[in-house]
Chain A
Amino acid sequence: MLVSVYRYNPETDDAPYMQDIHIDIPGGKDIMVLDLLQLLKDKDPSMAYRRSCREGVCGSDGMNMNGKNGLACITPLSAVVEKDKLVLRPLPGLPVVRDLVVDMGQFYKQYEKIKPFLINDTPAPAIERLQSPEERAELDGLYECILCACCSTACPSFWWNPDKFVGPSGLLQAYRFLADSRDTATRERLAELDDPFSVFRCHGIMNCVSVCPKGLNPTKAIGKIRNMLLQQAT
Chain B
Amino acid sequence: MVTSITSFGRSGLYDWMVQRVTAVVLVAYAVFMIFYLAFGDELTFEQWKGLFDGTAMRIFTLLALLSMAAHAWIGLWSVSTDYIKPTGARFLFQSVCGLLTFIYVVWGIQILWGI
| A residues in contact (CB < 8 Å) with B | 156-157, 160-161, 164, 191-201, 226, 229-230, 233
What are 8 of the A-B contact pairs (CB < 8 Å)? A191-B1, A193-B1, A194-B1, A196-B2, A196-B10, A196-B11, A197-B81, A199-B12
Chain B hits for A230, CB < 8 A: 13, 17
Partner of A195, one of B1, B17, B77, B82: B1
Q: Is B101 close to A, CB under 8 A? A: no
Whole-angstrom CA separation of A192 from B3 in the bound complex: 11
Within B78-115, the residues touching A (CB, 8 Å) are: 78, 81-83
Q: Select which of B1, B13, B83 is within 8 A of A200 by beta carbon.
A: B13
**Interface residues, chain B, with chain A CB atoms under 8 Å away:** 1-4, 7, 10-13, 15-17, 77-78, 81-83
Knowing A198-B12, A230-B13 touch, does A164 contact B2 (C-beta < 8 A)? yes
Instruction: Point out which of B15, B77, B81 has the most chain A C-beta atoms below 10 A from its C-beta.
Output: B81
Chain A residues positioned under 8 Å from B7 (CB to CB)? 196
* Minimum Cβ distance to chain B for residue A185 (Å): 14
Binding site secondary structure of chain B: helix
Structural contact, B16 and A197, CB atoms closer than 8 A: no
Q: Closest CB of chain B to A95's CB: distance in Å?
A: 16
How far, in whole Å, are A231 and B103 apart by their CA atoms in the complex?
A: 36
For the complex, give the distance between the alpha carbons of A198 and B13 in Å.
11
Query: A11–B37 Cα gap in the complex (Å)?
Result: 67
Min CB gap A110→B, angstroms: 11
Kindly list 14 other residue pairs between chains A and B, CB separation below 8 angstroms, not including A156-B82, A197-B2, A226-B16: A161-B81, A164-B2, A191-B1, A193-B12, A194-B13, A195-B4, A196-B7, A196-B15, A197-B4, A197-B12, A198-B1, A198-B12, A230-B17, A233-B13
Asked if A200 and B12 make an inter-chain contact with CB atoms under 8 angstroms apart, the answer reads yes
A160-B83, A161-B81, A161-B82 are known contacts. Are A229 and B13 too (CB-CB below 8 A)? Answer: yes
A198 and B4 CA atoms in complex are apart in Å by 11
For A160, the chain B residues whose CB sits under 8 A away are 81-83
Most buried by A among B1, B2, B78: B2
With contacts A160-B82, A226-B16 taken as known, whether A194 is within 8 angstroms of B4 at the C-beta atoms is: no
Residues of A within 8 A of B81 (CB): 160-161, 196-197
Q: How far is the CB of B50 from chain A (nearest CB, A)?
A: 39
Point out the residues of chain A lying under 8 angstroms from B2, CB to CB: 164, 195-198
By beta carbon, the residue of chain A nearest B8 is A196
